[in-house]
Structure formats: structure tokens, C-alpha cells
Chain A
């Protein structure tokens, strides 16, 4: 098979670059949110809490889509070395999701910080407000994927590892629905992320069908 730009091997330093670049948004957003809370920096506009929370959410989706893009990209370009970065991207997705959740809980809703917010309010938020219920579900579904991402766990789970990690195909659409339901009226952004996700999922379906036909 032809390999795009002759990149049969990973360009030197690609892995290191990924590991350095991926956490940059997280560091900046965290610095800016804490800067508002503790009053040392003013970087995120008039409402740094919402802006920061939403930025973490957007980056979660970007990393989720990047993770799902690895396989199609690998097969279309022949850059097989991309495969080993899928785990890194997946773990960063979980990391950004954790920061998104943490910002919601501690900085926005202020659980355990504001005396105005009790457990009854949190319970109501999580169980009675569908977009929060769905967001929380996404996080809970992602956690086992992160925990079982080590080589050891892969070996131990064997065939079941692949089965378990198919949950990502459920998490993706749920994350889009979560975003879609959270916006007030303008659905442009969730629609764009949703379209990219649909394209990536469609490619998998198309690719599977093609190989089935080829083998028949």
C-alpha cells in the first residue's frame, strides 16, 4: 500500500510533541480559572467560570474526535505508527472530561464551597436535568476505558478488551447530545462536532462493509 508522503515511520519527536502539546490548553485554562478564583489573573473575560468550563468541554470533544480519527487516518494514509498514539489521545480525552466535571462541580456549582448549595441541589441537578445526567453518564462510561488502558489490562481482558472499548461509540453520540442540550438556542457548535463524529462513525461502517464484501 502506498504511504502518504513516504512516512512509513513516525517523524522524529512526534510522540514527544504530542505529549507536550496535548496538556497545553489544560494548563492555560486551569491557570486562568484559578487566576480568577484567587485573583491573580484576568484572562477569560467577564465570566471566567462559564468560559473555562465550556473550554474544557470543547477540548474534551476535540480529543474524543481525535481519538476516533486515528484509525481512519491511519488506514487512509498508511501511517500505521499513528496507532500507538490512540491510547494517549484517549487518556487525554478522559483527562479533559475530568477537568470539565471538576470545574462544573467546584467552581460553577461550588459543591462543598458555597453554603447556598446543598446535596439536594446536586442530586436534583444530576438526576432531574437530562443534559447533566447524560454528561455524567459519559464520564462514568469513560472511566473504565481509562482504567483498562494499560498493556497489562489489555492482556488480562483479552477479547473482552475490544468489546469493552466499543463503548466509545456510545460515549461519542452521548457527548454530542449533552452539548446540544446544554446550549440555549444556537446549535451551530454542537452541530459541527456532531457532523465530524458522524463522518468518523460512517467511515467505520463503510470500511467494515467494504472488507466484508472483499472477503466474501
Chain B
């Protein structure tokens, strides 16, 4: 059972930060050749610095949303070299290895379906009217690991308002590029390609829902879903569809990639919920990348105050 009544001082995995710092100190002695250079970058130092330094670092990276006292942005290298993007392979380091040849420019995004103003937009034109923001969000993977990521992007609400949904529109469907030549993972039928995701229109219109174009103030690396990806911080990471080419408004619930693959394990909603276990593992706690000690998983990943009302009256055990 999750225990949320713990004082945050007890769950603050300070030892992890200290550990990394000790490692950074030791790295000089042992030699970078042996220990690798992954965490030696400036971003690595910033990510594991503590207290006031950490606060300062955060402000430089963007506005923090829903962060806990123990949350600090993960190292740039962890964010960009350890992730799931099955279009480039199923291993965590496959995307960084196999996405280098991917061409994210030029890029066209189609907005279609139940909108008054459909269209196909060059990415620059698609982004131009919206305010670009830097926001630091928590990210919880359904596999029970998590990160804190400084995203750059625009709100999906802004895009949808411009497209003017028609009264019957209730859902938004997103589709990833389908191009097995560039995306080698799509040559194998691991998931049904192209990857599809969906949100209810009110979820899509929520001010926390982002269309991200960057991380750490830089353009998204290919492996993280360049040039345009979805970020819904209160849902499990797989909802964050990458390399989006189509946004379609519909009246019916869209089919989503992981739900098609294993419906008993991955639902349409996929809201982070410590009370509802994945059939094969507990969702009550998580391991934060870069930290040793487990931390509690929070209802809606810590965004309950902002989003819980979207689901009032819903049976979250059935609508997982």
C-alpha cells in the first residue's frame, strides 16, 4: 500500500544526490575513461545539485509545475539517452542510437476531422502564432521509473482553439509519422504502426497539456520525438506520442497503440494512479532515474489539484 503520510524529509532521497556528487568527485580520481562521461556534463552537475543551487538551476530551465521538494531536473543525457521510442527499437538506448539519421525538417502537421479550420501546416507556421514556453514537468513511465524534464513547447489548447472544433468533437487523435525507411522499428510488427494516441477533448484542452518542441531549451533530439510530441504530465509516458504528423478531432474514442497491443494492461486514460496496479507490477512507488531510493507515486503524478476534476465520478479501476 502506498503511504502518503510520510513527511517529505523522510522520502527525500538525499543520499542519491550525495551519491552522484561523490561520484563526480571520485570521477576525477578514477579517470573519466573508466567511468564514462555521461554525468560529467554541466547539465549533470546542475541536475544533482541541491538546495538553492537547484532552485536557481530550475528557474533558468523553465517554470516548475507540480514539483515536489525532492524533485530536480534529470540530466540532459539521461533524458535524451534513456527512453522508449519503439519506432527506433525496443531497448532504452535504441532511440538515441538509431534516430540519428531521422529527418525532422521539413515537417508538415495536419489538423483535420471535426474542426472548422482544418489544414496542413509547415511546422514553423504551425508554431508561430503560439507562445513558446519552458516548463518543468514530472514524467512517470508506466514501467515504474520516472524523471523530471524541462520541456519547451506550446499548449495544445492554443492549437485546438485556432482550429475551432465543431460542437460534435469529443476526442483528439494523434498519429506518428509512418516511414519504416527512417524508423527501423516500424519494420517489425511490435506495435500496430503508425503509433496512435488519443485524449478526451477536455484533457486535450487542459492548460497543462503541451505540444513539446524542445527539451532543456534546445530543439528536441530525434530520439525524444522530434520535431513535435505530446506531453501530458499526469498520464503515463506512453501517452506522450512522438513525431506527430496528424491531429484529428473525432466524435468517438480513438484507438491507441498500446491499448490495441495489450488491452488488459494499457487503457485509454492511462492516468498515473498509485492505487491501480499494472497487472504485472505495482504502481505504488517508482524509481527516479539518477536516484537509488524509491519514491512514492502520486495520484495523477502530483497534478491532482489541477486535473482530478476531469475524472470526478469515474471508476478509475475500470478506466485505467
Q: Which residues of A contact B (CB under 8 A)?
A: 35-43, 45-47, 49-50, 107-108, 110, 113-118, 120-121, 124-125, 129, 131, 181-182, 184-186, 188
Chain A residue numbers with a CB within 8 Å of B262 are 185
Contact B294 A117 (CB under 8 A): yes
Q: Which residues of B contact A (CB under 8 A)?
A: 1-3, 6, 10-11, 16, 18-23, 26-27, 30, 34-36, 38-39, 77-78, 81-82, 86, 90, 92-93, 143, 145, 190-191, 261-262, 279-282, 284-285, 287, 289-290, 292-296
21 A-B Cβ contacts within 8 A? A37-B19, A37-B292, A38-B22, A39-B22, A40-B23, A40-B26, A41-B26, A42-B35, A45-B38, A114-B293, A115-B11, A116-B6, A116-B296, A118-B1, A124-B282, A125-B282, A181-B280, A184-B90, A184-B143, A185-B190, A185-B261
Closest approach, in angstroms, between the C-beta of B111 and any C-beta of chain A? 30
Q: When chains A and B are docked, how far (Å) is the Cα of A130 from the Cα of B93?
A: 28
Contact B26 A46 (CB under 8 A): no
Which secondary structure dominates where chain A touches chain B?
loop
Q: When chains A and B are docked, how far (Å) is the Cα of A160 from the Cα of B93?
A: 48
Contact A114 B294 (CB under 8 A): yes
7 smallest CB-CB distances across A and B, nearest first, come from A39-B19, A46-B82, A186-B90, A39-B22, A46-B78, A114-B294, A39-B23
Contact B282 A47 (CB under 8 A): no
Chain B residue numbers with a CB within 8 Å of A114 are 285, 293-294
Contact A45 B1 (CB under 8 A): no
- What's the count of A-B pairs with C-beta under 8 Å? 101
Given known pairs A116-B296, A118-B1, A185-B262, the reply for A41 and B18 (CB within 8 Å) is no
Residue of A41, A45, A46, A182 near B30 (CB, 8 A) is A41
Contact B280 A115 (CB under 8 A): no
Residue of B77, B78, B281, B292 near A36 (CB, 8 A) is B292
Given known pairs A116-B2, A116-B294, A181-B280, the reply for A43 and B36 (CB within 8 Å) is yes
Q: When chains A and B are docked, how far (Å) is the Cα of A107 from the Cα of B19?
A: 15
Chain B residue numbers with a CB within 8 Å of A186 are 90, 190
Closest approach, in angstroms, between the C-beta of B141 and any C-beta of chain A? 10
Q: Which of A35, A182, A186 has the most CB of B within 10 A?
A: A186
Residue of B23, B36, B92 near A47 (CB, 8 A) is B92
A37-B292, A185-B86 given; name 15 further pairs at CB < 8 Å. A38-B19, A39-B26, A40-B26, A41-B26, A42-B35, A45-B81, A45-B93, A46-B289, A116-B294, A117-B285, A118-B1, A121-B282, A124-B282, A125-B282, A129-B281
Closest approach, in angstroms, between the C-beta of B39 and any C-beta of chain A? 5
Chain B residue numbers with a CB within 8 Å of A181 are 280
**CB-nearest residue of chain A to B145:** A47
Q: Which of A43, A115, A184 has the most CB of B within 10 A?
A: A184
Contact A121 B292 (CB under 8 A): no
Given known pairs A41-B35, A184-B143, A185-B191, the reply for A47 and B19 (CB within 8 Å) is no
Closest approach, in angstroms, between the C-beta of A175 and any C-beta of chain B? 17
